[in-house]
């Protein structure tokens, strides 16, 4: 297989040197250029277009966000943001994701060289994931735990009494920020309560939820422990925490907890989906969307076994067709639809009907 061709764009000579050396250690990656700003990058890209860009935000002559937008308009290319500005505040990170960045690595101003050494696995993983991303649709290994480490699986079919309270559970990862925006902005205020896991670092989810809240008819907020799940509200699991659905009589709320990584993620889609299977059963709709890996595939299968309806985003509209593909393979998906149809399918769930 050919190696992934990477260009590093950063005004710091130290960063260029260290990032180039770290990426070059992996036999599957080739750094074809390391340049000081987007102007140099554009000149170099006329000669050889990279498979992935590792891009700083704060640079002379042209900032990274402007360059990112230009690249996405001209020739969509996977971009990994690596910037100190991402640490200062999540707002700039949301702007980068909205512009089409596939992943973000935050770097500190102090101890930069050591940080990059420590984060080398994350950087290599981000570059490899980006190389597999289908950006054309965009406008450190740890122990691999399952959801068992957070809550036990169902030991028998769900016998929950159905109520008029319906719950929609959404799980997504790479490409999910744009996908969620398309889905949530299309939903009316009468939408059933929604619980969401979007793989995202700590500190980013609050800004992401706030941005969506300003765009949507429904309320969107970063979940806090014991928040009610009610019609017209979407709760997004906070970065760095797991979120579980809980039930008290006919009412639902969420529990936000610490815990080990599940499928190398916290929050984990599998944890949320399993809790929905246990607490909501046939009162729920599960939706798995664009993302790398298999987080959520097992949980969606458990939801379907518990009587829930289940949807997957189709391959053509996914940035990365990993999570939905695994869910289909394991038998958890009842119906596959394009991104543009997911909001409609959610509303059909109000009547308990799924059009085939």
As annotated, the active-site residues are 173, 199, 295
Cβ-proximal residues to 179 (8 Å cutoff; 6+ apart), any chain: 172, 289, 290, 313, 317, 318, 319, 339
Q: What is the 3-state secondary structure (H, E, C) of the chain?
A: CCCEEEEEECCCHHHHHHHHHHHHCCCCEEEEEEECCHHHHHHHHCCCCCCEEEECCCCCCCCHHHHHHHHHHHCCCCEEEEECHHHHCHHHHHHHHHHCCCEEEECCCCCHHHHHHHCHHHHHHHHHHHHCCCHHHCCCCCCCCCHHHCCCCCCCCCCCCCCCCCEEEEEECCCHHHHHHHHHHCCCCCCCEEEEEECCCCCHHHHHHHHHHHHCCCEEEECCCCCEECCCEEEECCCCCEEEEEEECCEEEEEEECCCCECCECCCHHHHHHHHHHHCHHHEEEEECCECCCCCHHHHHHHHHCCCEEEEECHHHCCCECHHHHHHHCCCCCEEECHHHHHHHHHHHHHCCCCC
Q: How far is CA 185 from the centre of its chain?
A: 17
Determine the Cα–Cα distance for residues 86 and 106; give it in Å rounded to an integer. Answer: 5
């Amino acid at each position: 297989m050919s190696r992934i061709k990477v260009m590093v764009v950063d005004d710091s000579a130290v960063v260029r040197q260290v990032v180039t050396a770290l990426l070059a250690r992996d036999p599957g990656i080739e750094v074809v250029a390391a340049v000081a700003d987007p102007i140099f990058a554009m000149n170099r890209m006329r000669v050889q277009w990279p498979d992935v860009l590792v891009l700083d935000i704060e640079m002379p002559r042209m900032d990274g966000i402007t360059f990112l937008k230009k690249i996405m308009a001209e020739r969509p290319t996977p971009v990994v943001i690596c910037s100190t500005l991402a640490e200062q505040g999540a707002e700039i990170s949301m702007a980068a994701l909205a512009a089409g960045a596939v992943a973000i690595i935050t770097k500190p101003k102090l101890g930069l060289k050591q940080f990059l050494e420590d984060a080398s696995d994350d950087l290599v993983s981000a570059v490899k994931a980006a190389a597999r991303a289908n950006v054309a649709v965009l406008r450190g290994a740890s122990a691999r735990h399952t959801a068992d480490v957070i809550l036990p699986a169902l030991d028998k079919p769900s016998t929950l009494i159905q109520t008029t309270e319906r719950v929609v559970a959404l799980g997504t990862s790479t490409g999910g920020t744009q996908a969620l925006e398309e889905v949530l902005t299309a939903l009316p205020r009468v939408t059933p309560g929604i619980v969401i896991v979007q793989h995202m670092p700590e500190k980013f989810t609050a800004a992401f939820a706030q941005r969506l809240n300003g765009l949507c008819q429904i309320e969107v907020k970063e979940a806090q422990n014991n928040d009610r799940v009610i019609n017209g509200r979407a709760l997004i699991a906070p970065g760095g925490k797991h979120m579980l659905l809980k039930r008290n009589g006919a009412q639902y709320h969420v529990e936000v907890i610490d815990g080990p990584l599940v499928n190398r993620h916290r929050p984990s889609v599998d944890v949320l989906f399993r809790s929905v299977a246990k607490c909501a059963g046939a009162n729920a709709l599960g939706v798995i969307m664009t993302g790398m890996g298999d987080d959520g595939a097992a949980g969606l299968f458990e939801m379907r076994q518990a009587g829930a309806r289940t949807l997957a985003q189709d391959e053509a509209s996914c940035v990365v067709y990993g999570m939905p593909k695994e869910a289909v393979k394991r038998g958890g998906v009842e119906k596959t639809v394009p991104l543009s149809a997911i909001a409609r399918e959610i509303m059909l769930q109000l009547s308990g009907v799924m059009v085939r």
